[in-house]
């Protein structure tokens, strides 16, 4: 029986979140947490989609409204219209990436589903094509997405993003350094946080302009340090970037406690990643520190991951 599986990586925003809205640059890396889709043929002509994380199943041909499945219906419809309706199948979604934590879970899942479905129908997936289709799905989830999440899931590696420009960087991350990601478990409305940050900008534009200029400089300097493999200095910039995120009002008690805990345990730098007011924080650490740090953070009651940036994007497995 025909069965195809594809996986795509999640992501971490290293520098620049929030500030990108005003045209500042950001640096984003793919990491080794994956969303996976397996598609296997059925003996009938039904097309079912099942999410292991949500423990939900939908019929992709039905008109029922299942919000979680809307983006996947979009992908299924686009592929059916352009390549012909597939034979009957069961598609199983399984993701290690925490949902609603700013790690690109929805995009990675959409990319893995797109890649697997194209492979299932016998089309050798072209990454540019996968990216274009998955971006349409991201519009369903995020309305006005930047395109970064689906691009990083498709191509992997490190990306430099500036409004309207997405540039892949040929930088090899050394095995000596890892990222520890801690999920606060606190859900937030990203759109609302972005809106309130912009309102704060408009109340104090002269001051905020300087903060945003500093954020741009930090990202550009961080890129220099990454290219020169100067990770001690990179850690300093992570800390300064976190200070700017505090200044614009997106840190809360839990994120502050976790940032300071990571630093006290020996992280070279630690900061919020993503919208803030919950979600995740990350620390840059030496690889030999990872095990002990994760045990300490888990003893505090939080989910923590020791991760490596990865160069490879979506692929068949």
Residue 66 among the catalytic residues: no
Cα distances (angstroms) measured from residue 39 to each of 119, 210, 297: 9, 50, 36
How many CB atoms within 10 Å of residue 99? 14
What is the sign, positive or negative, of the torsion defined by CA atoms of 28, 67, 188, 145? positive
In whole angstroms, give the CA distance from residue 238 to residue 240: 6
Catalytic residue among 59, 61, 66, 149: 149
β-sheet bridge partners, residue 303: 183
Which pairing describes strands 3-15 and 315-316: parallel, antiparallel, or unpaired?
antiparallel
Which pairing describes strands 56-59 and 3-15: parallel, antiparallel, or unpaired?
unpaired
Contacts of 258 (CB under 8 A, 6+ apart): 182, 184, 270, 281, 297, 302
Supply the Cα-derived Rg of the chain in whole angstroms: 20
Cα distances (angstroms) measured from residue 165 to each of 23, 25, 138, 168: 10, 9, 18, 10
Reduced to 3 states, what is the DSSP secondary structure of residue 53?
coil
Which positions are annotated as active-site residues?
149
């Amino acid at each position: 029986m025909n069965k195809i599986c594809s996986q795509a990586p999640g992501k971490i925003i290293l520098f620049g979140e929030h500030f990108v809205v005003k045209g500042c640059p950001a640096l984003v890396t793919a990491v080794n947490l994956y969303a996976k889709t397996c598609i296997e043929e059925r003996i009938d002509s039904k097309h079912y989609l099942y999410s292991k994380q949500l423990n939900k199943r939908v019929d992709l041909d039905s008109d029922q409204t299942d919000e979680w499945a809307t983006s996947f219906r979009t992908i299924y419809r686009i592929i059916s219209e352009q390549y012909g309706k597939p034979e009957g199948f069961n598609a199983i979604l399984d993701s290690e990436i925490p949902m609603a934590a700013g790690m690109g879970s929805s995009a990675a899942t959409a990319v893995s589903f797109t890649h697997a479905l194209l492979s299932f129908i016998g089309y050798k997936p072209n990454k540019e094509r996968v990216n274009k289709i998955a971006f349409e799905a991201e519009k369903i989830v995020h309305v006005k997405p930047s395109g970064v999440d689906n691009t990083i899931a498709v191509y992997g590696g490190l990306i430099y993003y500036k409004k309207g420009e997405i540039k892949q960087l040929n930088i090899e991350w050394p095995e000596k350094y890892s990222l520890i990601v801690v999920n606060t478990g606190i859900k937030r409305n990203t759109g609302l946080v972005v809106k309130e940050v912009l309102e704060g900008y408009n109340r104090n534009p002269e001051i905020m302009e300087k903060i945003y200029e500093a954020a741009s400089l930090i990202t550009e300097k961080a890129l220099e340090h990454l290219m020169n493999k100067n990770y001690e200095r990179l850690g300093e910039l992570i800390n300064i970037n976190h200070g700017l995120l505090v200044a614009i009002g997106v840190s809360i008690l839990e994120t502050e406690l976790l940032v300071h805990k990571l630093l006290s345990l020996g992280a070279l730098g630690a900061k919020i990643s993503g919208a803030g007011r919950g979600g995740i924080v990350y620390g840059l650490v030496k690889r030999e520190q990872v095990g002990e740090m994760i045990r300490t953070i888990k003893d505090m009651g939080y989910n923590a991951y020791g991760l490596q940036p990865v160069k490879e994007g979506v692929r068949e497995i």
